[in-house]
Amino acid sequence: MERSLAESAEAAVMISVAQNVAVVAAAVLGSLLFMLGLNRVWSWEKRRPHNDLIGWQLSVLGTTYAVILGFMFYTVWTSFGEADLNVDREANTVIDIYRLANGMPEPQRTQLQSFARSYVNAVISQEWPQMAKGTVAEQSSGFDQEMWKTVMSVRATSPTEVNAQGGALSQLSLLMQHELTRKRQSTARLPGMLWCVLLVGGTLTIVSACLFGTESVKLQGLHVFSISLLVSLSLVAIANIHRPFHGVIHIGDDAFRRVQQSMQGP
């Protein structure tokens, strides 16, 4: 079961790579075909007198679109970094709970450590592959509830047990916050209106580049190729980064795997 989920996640990443390449290639090819078609319908000699106006238009559009792209890159990369940091904090919180269990009496000590290991295993083997496929993961929720019940059932009789119980309750509260944040971030999407602005802005910028009237078709083709390639790569990068657990650029489960290894130690 775990292997099949991991293989499905890996296949999804490979499909995403192929999809990204296909989108970039289609955008570049479509731009070049549009340029060639425009040259046949409206010759470069007739467009050349309008180059000053077209150049001014391209300058305004290009500058505006560059600002929009820069803002979007900053936003999605900041969100990606926050998601990565939240995963590290969630993993660290689990290992803190696991260690705090050493200060509790039996059978709560063994139960809490067992639930902590099960939580980590569920995140790695089930939730991460599901998040990679863009679906909501809920397998870990049952284990954190069991950890709450276990800690609340402790009847502390010594200062060590009191401190361990209080610390575990505090860490469990943080764990649920980090867990909910991770699941919210795994399903977050850019609003459709922002995608409309990005796509329309990119299309207008490429069309403006195609409108230039120049005698050298090769030079114009190189110009259109460069702009369309840059625009399509930027959009593909934003599309991948804004979903931190899905796609080619994604957050791995390395933090939880390190925690899993620590729990297997002495």
Mean pLDDT by 10 residues, the chain (266 residues): 44 63 92 88 76 77 90 92 95 94 91 93 89 73 86 88 92 93 87 90 89 79 91 90 85 92 75
Amino acid (1-letter code) at residue 11 = A
Structural domain that includes position 247? 2-264
Give the integer Cα–Cα distance in Å for 244 and 250: 5
For residue 139, the tally of other CB atoms under 10 A from its CB is 15
- Write out the two tokens for 190: 């850019």
What's the farthest any 2 CA atoms get from each other in the chain? 93
Label residue 83 exposed, middle or buried (CB < 10 Å: 0-12, 13-18, 19+). Answer: buried
**Integer CA distances (angstroms), 17 to 175, 179, 190, 227, in order:** 33, 28, 20, 21
How many domains in the chain? 1
Give the integer Cα–Cα distance in Å for 86 and 182: 7
- Res 4: pLDDT: 47
